[in-house]
Amino acid sequence: MVSMPMLLFFLVGLIQASVVRLPSPVTEKNYYHETMVTHLDLTDPNTPDDLNPALNRKMQISLFYPILGSWCSVTCGFPYMPAVASSFTSKQFLGANNTYFDSFEFTACCAAPDHKHDPGKVPLLILDPAVGTSRHVYGILAQRIASGGTAVVTIDHPHDTSVIQFENGDTVQGSVQLNPFVAINPWNATVDNALTARTADIKYVLSQLAVVDVVKKLLPSLNVQHAFKTDSFGIAGHGLGGTVATYFGVSDNRTAVSINIDGTPPLLTQNTTKNFVFFGRDPGARREDDIHWNSTWNHIFGQKTAYNLQKGDVFDFTDLPYLNTKLVDPHSGQMKGLGEIGVNGTTATAAMVAAYMKQQFSNPQDLGLRALTEALQDWPGLLPLGQNS
């Protein structure tokens, strides 16, 4: 008989043997920063939980924080996704209960001791996921954008994210009745409620990122001097997260960059002079296929830019195409929600968002324009429809 410790030893050996370390983006052009990756639970004391009003809204965030490559003294492996989220994500995209998604790890910076760090000088991006998924399937995107010099915060919203496992072990599963694989239609009370809840969550997260003690908790191994500057930030979101990103662009004047990735915008009835970016897909999810974009577009009098991803599917704008090229356990069949464009879905989405952040926040700003031109050249499958057209 195999003893229990022996069995554990073998299992641990097997698990370790199959871990795949994803390379740091810093080996690629335009990526100069290593990144720290950390997670934090946050409870909003002012907003009751929608399903359990005796409790307050509790969310979980990740921070991908850029550290100049020359400042990072050591990099190490950092889990890509916890086991519970991996189990849900496998079922959702592979139709199987396996350890595919928790067999990866990031190459992350684990120490940069000889420097003072001022997050107030680092551009800040909120990256909001699609409904019914996990913020963890946006981690590679977030790390790449961070490697371009932007701090990226991803958020899991309670009852909306597929599953959240909090630091105390409690899990909360998704129950919002919206399907991440199909566009919003109709816009109904479920959408309104989810949008309201997410907006409050994000405003709370922003308020906490402006508190130096919270930032110190997020970056415990760094000598942090200041909090984030939240009076000007970018927000990019996917699916329902895209809806949220456009909503922030319209309604929160701290929003300097608003990027809606494959999401329905709120229906505008007032004109706005803010700037908006929309990534659609052709065929299937062009601006003119959407229930609101035709009308909302005509109320935008700032700069508005739309792109159509050729032959992509809804989850090409996430980490999934990238992971699909790094198969460890061969799995049968295609991941759900991917089209024909391959790894560019992840790498180019990140490059485009990073470029928009550079365009807004870098000095001189033409650095950002160059980044955008390069990102577009690198992605022949993403066609600009022409500015303001």
Ligand X SMILES: *[C@@H]1O[C@H](CO)[C@@H](O)[C@H](O)[C@H]1NC(C)=O
Contacts with 117 (C-beta within 8 Å, 6 or more apart), sequence order: 67, 219, 222, 223, 224, 225
| 240-251 helix and 189-209 helix, angle to the nearest 10 degrees | 70
Residue 20 C-beta: closest distance to ligand X, Å = 18
Under DSSP, the state recorded for 73 is: -
The minimum distance between CB 260 and ligand X, in angstroms, equals: 16
Residue closer to ligand X (CB basis): 41 or 374: 374
- Please identify which residue in 27, 52, 175, 188 interacts with ligand X, judged by CB under 6 A: 188
Residues 174/179/185/190 CA torsion (nearest 10 deg): -10
Q: Is the dihedral of CA 139, 137, 101, 39 positive or negative?
A: positive
Based on the shown chain and the rule CB under 6 A, indicate whether residue 189 belongs to the binding site for ligand X.
yes
Q: Does 83 bind ligand X (CB under 6 A)?
A: yes
Closest to ligand X by CB, 52 or 298: 298
Between helix 344-361 and helix 366-377 the angle, nearest 10°, is 170
In terms of CB distance, is 119 or 381 closer to ligand X?
A: 381
Phi and psi angles of residue 233, each rounded to the nearest 5 degrees, phi first = -145, 170
Binding of ligand X at residue 177 (CB under 6 A)? yes
- For residue 72, what are the CA distances in angstroms to 24, 68, 162, 310? 12, 7, 34, 38
Contact pick of 219, 341, 350, 357 for ligand X (by CB under 6 A):
341
Distance CA 389, CA 387 (A): 5
Residue of 35, 87, 89, 147 interacting with ligand X (CB under 6 A): 87
Q: Is 288 in the site for ligand X (CB under 6 A)?
A: yes
Nearest residue (CB) to ligand X, 87 versus 92: 87
Is residue 165 a contact point for ligand X (CB under 6 A)?
no
Q: How far is the CB of 189 from ligand X (least distance, A)?
A: 4
Whether residue 382 contacts residue 279, with contact meaning beta carbons closer than 8 Å, is answered with yes
Q: What is the contact mask toward ligand X in residues 291 to 310, using x (rule: CB under 6 A)?
A: x--x----------------
Selected binder of ligand X within 181, 378, 383, 385 (CB under 6 A): 378
Please provide residue 348's backbone torsions phi and psi, each rounded to the nearest 5 degrees. -80, -35
Contact 349, 142 (CB under 8 A): no
Nearer to ligand X, 13 or 380 (CB): 380
Minimal distance in Å, beta carbon 363 to ligand X? 20
By CB under 6 A, name the one of 68, 342, 370, 376 that touches ligand X: 342
**Is residue 271 near ligand X by the rule CB under 6 A?**
yes
Verify binding: residue 332, ligand X, rule CB under 6 A.
no
The CA distance from 260 to 242, in Å, is 4
Angle between helices 139-147 and 344-361 (to 10 degrees): 40
Between strands 56-68 and 33-48, the pairing is: antiparallel
What tokens were used for 46?
């002012």
Among 70, 97, 334, 373, binds ligand X (CB under 6 A): 97
Count of residues binding ligand X (CB under 6 A)? 21
Tell me which stretch binds ligand X (CB under 6 A): 129-137, 147-155, 340-348, 357-365.
340-348
Residue 207 interacts with ligand X (CB under 6 A): yes or no = no
Cα diameter, the chain:
74
Name the residues that contact ligand X, by CB under 6 A: 83, 87, 97, 177-178, 188-190, 253, 270-271, 288, 291, 294, 341-342, 344, 378-381
